Amino acid sequence: MKPTALSLSGRERTFPPDEIIVSKTDPQGRLTYVNDVFLMVAGYTEDDLIGRPHNIIRHPAMPRTVFRLMWRTVREGREIFAYVNNRASNGDHYWVLAHVTPNLAADGTIAGYHSSRRAPRRAAVERVDALYGRLRAAEIAAGDGEAGMAASARLLDEVLQGEGMGYDRFVLGL
Ligand X SMILES: Cc1cc2nc3c(=O)[nH]c(=O)nc-3n(C[C@H](O)[C@H](O)[C@H](O)COP(=O)(O)O)c2cc1C
Q: Write down the least CB distance from residue 30 to ligand X, Å.
A: 9
Q: Write down the least CB distance from residue 27 to ligand X, Å.
A: 9
Measured from the CB atom, the residue of 49 and 155 that comes closer to ligand X is 49
Largest CA distance in the chain: 45
Q: What totals of helices (H) and strands (E) does the chain contain, helices first? A: 6, 5
Q: How many Å is the Cα radius of gyration of the chain?
A: 16
CA angle 116, 173, 18 (to 5 degrees): 35
Residue with the closest Cβ to ligand X?
55
Say if residue 4 is exposed, middle or buried (CB neighbours under 10 Å; 0-12, 13-18, 19+): exposed
CA–CA gap between residue 155 and residue 131 (Å, rounded): 10
Question: Is residue 113 close enough to count as binding ligand X by CB under 6 A?
Answer: yes
Question: Is residue 100 close enough to count as binding ligand X by CB under 6 A?
Answer: yes
**Torsion angles phi and psi, residue 162, rounded to 5:** -60, -35
Measured from the CB atom, the residue of 112 and 170 that comes closer to ligand X is 112
Question: Is residue 33 close enough to count as binding ligand X by CB under 6 A?
Answer: no
Question: Is residue 65 close enough to count as binding ligand X by CB under 6 A?
Answer: no
Question: Is residue 136 close enough to count as binding ligand X by CB under 6 A?
Answer: no
Query: Residues in the site for ligand X, rule: CB under 6 A?
Result: 23, 25, 29, 54-55, 57-58, 62, 64, 67, 71, 84, 86, 98, 100, 113-115
